[in-house]
């Protein structure tokens, strides 16, 4: 069993303290391309972890059509994406399929994670196949609690 598999918790009794949605512009459409999270002043100030992540959820065109920056949300290529979450140089969540965090694929439930810190500066969404459109974005909602 890989370390990434152990990060996912089978039960879904998540207590939501805070939530924030972060956009990932999918500008790099090539096979294996890495698309970085837009840095967020709450979740990742100055590139350092300031929160404990407790869950994740992703969005597609079916749930939200446009991002706050006006880009179209991923649609047909959603099966071609994976999520890589890093802490320093360590891969805490490695190539987890983007659609596995889509709540409609999980009986409407949010994917709960072990309480961990991630660095959004080093984390990214990776293309497992070439994307058909480099003008779309992915949206990821992180459920978290501040570090005390």
Measured distance CA(26)–CA(67) in Å, rounded: 12
Which pLDDT belongs to residue 49?
58
d(CA 60, CA 63): 6
Please tell me the distance from the alpha carbon of residue 35 to that of residue 33, in angstroms, as a whole number.
7
Q: For residues 141 and 105, is the Cβ–Cβ distance under 8 A?
A: no
Going by the DSSP 8-state scheme, the letter that residue 72 receives in this structure is E
- Evaluate whether 33 touches 134 at the Cβ level (below 8 Å): no
pLDDT at 120: 83
pLDDT digits 0-9 by tens, 54-96: 889 999 998 889 998 999 999 888 899 999 998 888 898 899 9
B/e letters for 31-49, b = 16+ CB within 10 Å, e = fewer, are eebebebeebeebbeeeeb
Average pLDDT over residues 7-30: 78
Q: Which residue has the higher pLDDT, 108 or 126?
A: 126
pLDDT in tens, 113-123: 888 888 888 89
In this prediction, what percent of the chain has a pLDDT beyond 70? 84
The string of pLDDT tens digits covering residues 38-48 is 877 677 655 45
Continuous segment of H or E residues that includes residue 124: strand 119-127
Residue 5 in this model has a pLDDT that exceeds 50: no
């Amino acid at each position: 069993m890989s370390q990434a598999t152990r990060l996912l918790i089978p039960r879904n009794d998540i207590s939501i303290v805070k939530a924030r949605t972060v956009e990932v512009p999918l500008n790099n459409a090539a096979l294996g391309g890495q698309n970085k999270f837009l840095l967020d002043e709450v979740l990742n100030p100055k590139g350092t972890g300031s929160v404990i992540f407790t869950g994740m959820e992703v969005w597609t065109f079916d749930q939200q059509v446009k991002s706050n920056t006006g880009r179209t949300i991923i649609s047909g290529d959603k099966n071609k994406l994976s999520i890589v979450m890093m802490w320093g140089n360590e891969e805490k969540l490695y190539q987890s399929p983007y659609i596995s965090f889509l709540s409609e694929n999980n009986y409407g439930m949010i994917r709960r994670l072990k309480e961990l810190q991630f660095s959004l500066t080093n984390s990214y969404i990776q293309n497992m196949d070439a994307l058909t459109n480099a003008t779309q974005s992915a949206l990821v909602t992180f459920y978290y609690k501040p570090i005390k």
